[in-house]
Structure 1
Amino acid sequence: MSEKPTSIDDYLAPLAPEVRAELERIRALVTGLVPEVEESISYGMPTLSYRGRALVYFTASKKHMSFYPSSWAIEELGDRLADYPTTQHAIRFTLENPLPDDLIEDLVRAHRRDIDADRR
């Protein structure tokens, strides 16, 4: 990407079709679960925000994609993330080893619950 994207669609447009489809799947899952999310680009990443706070970010890199729910959600569901490299804030995955729908949904539900409780 030579120009910085100003929307999620701008971010996704230049990606390989299969990578774009995978990130669109995640976008659709999250927006289906939390229809009131607002879309933006924050820190150069596609961001879905809820109640004025980032609910999730997602990105594509050369060798993997990343999903950023919250460190609390990652910690809470860590036992289900054994097949994925994680950092405190991110879960890395590939087209060959994508995140399952139910796992994404549970990560989003966990972070939404924390936002609703005003956890900081």
Structure 2
Amino acid sequence: MVKKKISHIEIDRYISNFPKDVQGILKKIRDIISKAAPDADEAIKYGIPTFVLNENLIHFAGYKRHIGFYPTPSAIEKFRDELSEYEKSKGSIKFPLDKPVPYDLIKKIVKYRVGEVKGSL
């Protein structure tokens, strides 16, 4: 329980280092992930917020011009068509800060990852 609380505080601190508008986006993404993966634990891994459910489920991060979202290569492949307008690599997606963040798509990707990790796909 103590570790969970410490991780929560670390993520709060991470988010607080960004401008208010980016903080709002990061908080909303965190909330979406928390609700879509209620059994996942929060942690800081690789210096960025991470949700863990038996393994790393999702990482996300703020940058100067985009939000980095790291759901694993399998999730990026699964949602390839819906992600076509975003810059991506094998394991990462860049959501530019000058465009609306696709929160509904983020939720779908998280739910997919939960199913993948739990073996229910």
The residue aligned with 2:43 is: 40
Listed one character per residue, the Cα deviations across residues 68-97 of structure 1 (whole Å, up to 9, x for unaligned) are 111101001100001110011111012222
Listed one character per residue, the Cα deviations across residues 33-89 of structure 1 (whole Å, up to 9, x for unaligned) are 111211110011100111x21111001112211111111010011000011100111
Letter in 2 for 1:22: I
Distance (Å, rounded) in 1 between the aligned partners of 2:46 and 2:108: 24
Cα distance, 1:99 vs structure 2: 3.2
Letter in 2 for 1:30: I
Unaligned runs of 5+ in 2: 1-8
2:84 to 69, 82, 85: 82
The residue aligned with 2:14 is: 11
The residue aligned with 2:31 is: 28
Contact 2:65–2:97 under 8 Å retained in 1: no
Which 4+ stretches in 1 moved above 6 angstroms?
A: none
Distance (Å, rounded) in 2 between the aligned partners of 1:99 and 1:87: 18
2:105 to 103, 106, 115: 103
TM-score, reference length from structure 1: 0.86
The residue aligned with 2:4 is: none
Secondary structure of residue in 1 paired with 2:117: helix
TM-score, reference length from structure 2: 0.86
RMSD: 1.7
Total equivalences in the alignment: 113
**By percentage of residues, which structure has more helix?**
2
Contact 1:67–1:91 under 8 Å retained in 2: yes
Contact 1:46–1:57 under 8 Å retained in 2: yes
**Identity across the alignment (%):** 32
Secondary structure of residue in 1 paired with 2:91: coil
